[in-house]
Amino acid sequence: MSVIRQNLSECIGCGTCVKVCPMDVFRLDVEHSKSVIAYVQNCQTCGQCWLNCPTDSIGLQDAEVSFGINNGR
């Protein structure tokens, strides 16, 4: 259950994915004019980013991404 980057060179840095994501997955790299999939593990695969992306930079996959988080530190 996560967003995926299909092709970073297609991203035009419009910031739409950053704006529409309810889960704070994205950031906008203003200097390079690219979005950043920063917190993929919080993605709920609602697909709003993909639906609203004007290019084909973003995709969706059914695999859930999580990270090996231990009990504490």
Partner 1 sequence: MNRDHQNHGAKLFAGKDVPRRDFLRGAAVATGATGAMGLVGSSVAMAAAGDEETDGTFAHDAKMTADENGLVPDATTDITYLPRRGEYPTPSVPEPDITEYSCDVLVVGGGLAGLNAAWAAAQAGSNVILVEKATPGYGGLSAWPSCTAFYDPELDADMDLWDQYMRNSCECFANLNWEDAWCAESKSTFQRLCDWGWIQSYPRAADTEYWVDGNIYHDNLKGYKNSVPDRRKVFGEVLDANGVTTLDHVMVTDIIEKDGTCVGAVCLHYQSETVITITAKAVVLATGNGVLKPMGYPIGSDTYDGLWIGYQHGLPVTGLEFEDFHMTTSYAPSNGLTNNAYPYLEPVWPTGGTVTADNLSKNRGVNERYSQCVDGFDLAKNDVTLMDGQENGAAASAASQAGNEDDPRKGKMTSPLPKGHVYGAAIGMSVHTASGIWCGIDDLDCFTGMPGLYAAGDGTNGCYVGGPCYGAQRGSTSSFMSMQGAHAGSAAAAYAATVGDVELPADEVKALQEKALQPTTVEKGFNPEWIREVLHSIMAPNWVNWGGATEATLNAALTNLIELRDQVQGRIYAQNGHALRLAHEVEHMLLVMELKLRVKLERKESRGHHYRRDYPSRDDNYLYYITMTKGADGEVVFGRVELPERWTGDLTADYTVRYPGPQNPLDAKINYPQS
Which parts of this chain interact with partner 1 (CB under 8 A)? 1-9, 19-24, 27-32, 34, 36-42, 44-48, 50-52, 59-73
Say how far apart CA 26 and CA 20 lie, in whole Å: 10
User: CA quadruple 27, 23, 21, 2: dihedral positive or negative?
Assistant: positive
Of residues 14 and 36, the one with the C-beta less far from partner 1: 36
Q: Is 16 in a helix, a strand, or coil?
A: helix
Residue 3 CB, nearest approach to partner 1 (Å): 7
DSSP 8-state class, residue 58? E
Residue 14 CB, nearest approach to partner 1 (Å): 14
Residue 41 CB, nearest approach to partner 1 (Å): 7
